[in-house]
Amino acid sequence: MIGIRQKILLGFSGLLVIIAVIGLLTLDQIDHLGNAIDIILKENYRSVIASQKMKEALEKIDNDILNAFAGKQQPDTEDIGQNEQKFRDALKLELGNITLPGEGEKATRVAQLFDSYVKILHQVSDSSIPVQTRWSSYNSTLLPLLSEIKALAQQILDMNQANMNDANNAARRMSNSAHNSILAAILACALISVLFSFQSRRWILQPIRKLIASANEIKNGHFELVIEKESNDEIGLLSEAFNDMAQTLRQVKKNDDETLQRTRLATQEVMNLLPTPIAIIDTEGIVTVSTLSADKFFGLRPDKKVSTLDYPWLSDMISRSISEGRTVEAEEKRYIQCFINNQEYFYQPVVAPVPPFQKTGKIIGTLLLFKDITQAHEQKELKRSVVSTVSHQLRTPLTSLRMSIHLLLEEKIGSLNEKQNELLVAAREDSERLTGILDDLLDLNRIESGKDRLNILALQPATIIKKGIEPFLLDARDKGVSIVTDLADSLPDVHADMASMQHIFANLMTNAIRFTPPGGTITVRAFPENSAVRFSVEDTGAGIAPEHLQHIFEQFYQVPGQQSKSGAGLGLAIVKEMIEAQGGTAGAASTPGKGSEFYIELSSRKT
């Protein structure tokens, strides 16, 4: 059996052999080419230089002779002797560098002729011999010898230059041959690479792709898939293991399906016995198991999608529970009213995530429970009714009491002594405070019951702040407190009810002035916050401790130590109810010893 490893080694071994052959062939051709170039530079080039020097020495000797005859003076024997020596040195170099056929005979002939030339040269240079005789010897003997020697030197030069050209052409042919050989080897290597790549595709890639496609099919639930074994190598063994795995998965899935079916039936039987409406929902928002009451009263039967119910906000609660991994309860005002056996019931949805598997850590669904809040709702309605009745019943005698105190203080029915006046002033302040509490209770009751009609309009933040702080400028100045406004540029309009906003600012500004000492500052700001505008009232008072800050918007809650300054603890609760009725939110932040900030946020888009 030839395995994948052997196939890969076989292919790469072939490539390695081709690369080795290319390398050796390239080195051999480079060596031959270097030797040819060495011949050109070292051998023939020396003969060319020697021939050129011999010609130059002869010409200089001849020029000295001719200059002597032209000037009718004695030849420069010293210069002639130097050139004679140069000729002999060049001739010696040539005789020691014979490389071509016939080159030795010509060099030897040059030596013989130069010896004859030197003898005649000495006679021509002898000043004791008449000039006419010397001139005649020059023309008849010396000049022919000179021409013959130069001709032989030129022939030697031409022979060597011709050989240099031949060697150069041979080197070029060798270079072209090496180029073609290396190119052929590269093409052979490329061809083998292509063949190996094709074989690798057939041996390795295609079977692996089949395995990947089969794995995807199994991932999609096609456990009946069987892979055909096409070879006995590692891929074939992997195919057998894959088939065994698929068979095991088929058996496991069958067992899991049976177990799941038993568990589901048992769960459904248990759920049917529960009186509370409960439904288990998967991550796709589909009901898997539900109680009879959930099916009967809310339509939550198995395989039902929650998004098709008449409560679209339930889907948002489920999504939040899954994404945040925690229990999510519906808002207090968001409850479901239904009639069972001609009786009115109220339910508050609660969504809790089903604990995830330990292996994956992913939430596998949610539990939707409808908490019965009928009794709490009825008690709340009863409280509102009692508060409304008591407030209205107290308002009439309280108004009469206030009027009586007012008349007494005006002394229209008799004068008062100092002590009586102090008691009546205290009674007037308490009656006014009691009237404020009754008004707050009625306002809060009206907002909670939904009877407070809102006129939602697009309002400019600058206008809201201006109308909100105007009534308190005088009180702040009398107390020595500065009011500063800080509005961001180009604020968008917000959708709100102007009367409610003035009421909200009245509560916030009253608290800020009350708890800011003389010399302090109240800063009213407005700036963009995501798709909303945030309004804030910040004071420089004593601040609120963190343990009290989280309860500050609760009804009747008062921070310990501030009861003498504050009211009944309803102002901030009214602020929260009013702003939420307009689709906004309220919050607070505080640093003990530095002051507090109360803020509200309103959307800049109409809801």
pLDDT in tens, 1-22: 555 566 666 656 666 776 777 7
Average pLDDT over residues 49-72: 82
Q: β-pairing, 521-529 with 482-487?
A: parallel
Strands lying side by side in the sheet with 482-487: 482-487, 521-529, 532-538, 595-603, 585-591
Q: How far apart are CA 92 and CA 471, in angstroms?
A: 128
**Beta bridge partners of residue 349, listed in sequence order:** 370
Question: What digits encode the pLDDT tens for the residues 561-581?
Answer: 664 445 666 778 888 888 888
Strands 336-340, 343-353: pairing is: antiparallel
CB atoms < 10 A from the CB of 53, how many?
18
For residue 113, what pLDDT band results from cuts at 50, 70 and 90? Answer: confident
Task: Lowest mean pLDDT of 386-400, 463-477, 528-542, name the range.
Answer: 386-400
- State the DSSP H helix or E strand holding residue 348, giving kind and residue range, or none if neither: strand 343-353
- Predicted confidence band at 390 (pLDDT cuts at 50, 70, 90)? low
Selection from 578, 571, 544 nearest residue 560 by Cα: 544
Higher pLDDT, 152 or 330: 152
pLDDT of residue 357 exceeding 80, the answer is no
Write the CA distances from 77 to 81, 83, 84, 122, 278, integer angstroms. 6, 10, 10, 9, 136
Reduced to 3 states (helix: H, G, I; strand: E, B; else coil), residue 528 is strand
Band of the pLDDT at 307, cuts 50, 70, 90? confident
What is the C-alpha to C-alpha distance for residues 122 and 52, in angstroms, rounded to an integer?
Answer: 24
Which residue is listed with tokens 């804030």? Answer: 536
Token digits for 525?
A: 């700001």
Per-residue pLDDT at 281: 81
The residues, any chain, with a CB within 8 Å of residue 24's CB and separated by 6 or more, are none
Angle between helices 103-125 and 45-71 (to 10 degrees): 20
With 90 as the cut, is the pLDDT of residue 376 above it?
no
More confident site: 458 or 445? 458
Does residue 231 contact residue 238 with C-beta atoms inside 8 Å? Answer: no
Q: Tell me the Ramachandran region of residue 366: left when phi exceeds 0, alpha when psi lies from -120 to 50, beta otherwise.
A: beta
Task: Give the mean model confidence (pLDDT) for residues 414-426.
Answer: 78
The CATH number assigned to the domain with range 274-372 reads 3.30.450.20
CATH class held by domain 457-603 = alpha beta
Please give the pLDDT value at position 279: 79
Residues with Cβ < 8 Å from 204, sequence gap 6 or more?
Answer: 4, 7, 235
- What span, in angstroms and rounded, lies between the C-alpha atoms of 546 and 589? 9
Average pLDDT of span 269-281: 72
CATH of domain 4-195: 1.20.120.1730
Neighbouring residues of 502: CB distance < 8 A, sequence distance ≥ 6? 467, 468
Residues 354/365, Cβ–Cβ less than 8 Å: yes
Interval 63-78: pLDDT, tens: 888 887 777 556 677 8
Residue 315 contacts residue 356 (beta carbons within 8 Å)? no
Q: What share of the chain is helix, strand, coil (3-state, %, to 5)?
A: 60, 15, 25
For residue 39, pLDDT over 60 is answered with no
Residue range 185-211: mean pLDDT, rounded: 71
> Is residue 429 scored above 90 in pLDDT?
no
Considering only 84-88, 154-158, 332-336, 556-560, which range has the smallest mean pLDDT? 332-336
Strand partners, 367: 280, 352
Mean pLDDT of 409-438: 73
Question: Parallel, antiparallel, or unpaired for β 457-459 and 521-529?
Answer: unpaired
Dist CA 482 CA 522 (whole Å): 6
Distance CA 430, CA 442 (A): 18
In the predicted model, what is the mean pLDDT of the chain?
Answer: 77
Rounded Cα–Cα distance for residues 559 and 547 (Å): 10
Rounded CA separation 114/55 (Å): 12
Which residues, 6 or more positions from 9, have their beta carbon under 8 angstroms from its beta carbon?
none
Amino acid at 343: Q
What HEC string does 464-487 produce?
A: HHHHHHHHHHHHHHHHCCEEEEEE
Q: Which residues pair with 601 in a beta bridge?
A: 534, 585
C-alpha span between 211 and 217 (Å, rounded)? 10
The number of angstroms, rounded, from the C-alpha of 356 to the middle of its chain's C-alpha atoms is: 30
Location of structure tokens 């709490």:
376
Cα separation, 573 vs 569, whole angstroms: 8
Domain ranges of the chain: 4-195, 227-269, 274-372, 379-448, 457-603
Number of residues written out for the chain = 607
CA distances from 10 to 4, 129, 186, 188, 196 (A): 10, 94, 19, 16, 9
Identify the band that residue 274 occupies on the pLDDT scale cut at 50, 70 and 90. Answer: low
Report pLDDT for 499.
85
pLDDT of 509: 92
Determine the Cα–Cα distance for residues 592 and 587; give it in Å rounded to an integer: 17
Cβ-contact 157, 51 below 8 angstroms = yes
Q: Which residues of 391-400 are buried (b: 16+ CB within 10 A; e: fewer)?
A: beebeeebee
For 208-254, how does the pLDDT look when each residue is reduced to its tens digit (9 = 90+)? Answer: 777 777 777 776 767 676 666 666 666 667 777 777 777 787 777 77
pLDDT at 512: 92
Three-class HEC string of 228-239? CCCCCCHHHHHH
Distance CA(127)–CA(106), nearest Å, equals: 33
Mean pLDDT of 331-349: 70
d(CA 414, CA 582): 51
Query: For residue 464, what are the contacts with CB-CB under 8 A and spacing of at least 6?
Result: 494, 496, 498, 501, 505, 526, 535
The pLDDT of residue 525 is above 90? yes
* 76-95 average pLDDT score: 84
Instruction: Record the pTM.
Output: 0.41
Dist CA 118 CA 120 (whole Å): 5
Cα 536 to the chain's mean position, in Å?
36
> What would the mean pLDDT of 592-604 be, rounded to a whole number?
89
Mean pLDDT of 141-156: 87
Handedness of CA 567, 570, 575, 578 (dihedral sign): negative
pLDDT at 135 over 80: yes
Q: Which CATH number fits domain 379-448: 1.10.4030, 1.10.1740, 1.10.287, 3.40.50?
A: 1.10.287
> Which tens digit of pLDDT belongs to each residue from 460-485?
999 999 999 999 999 999 999 999 99
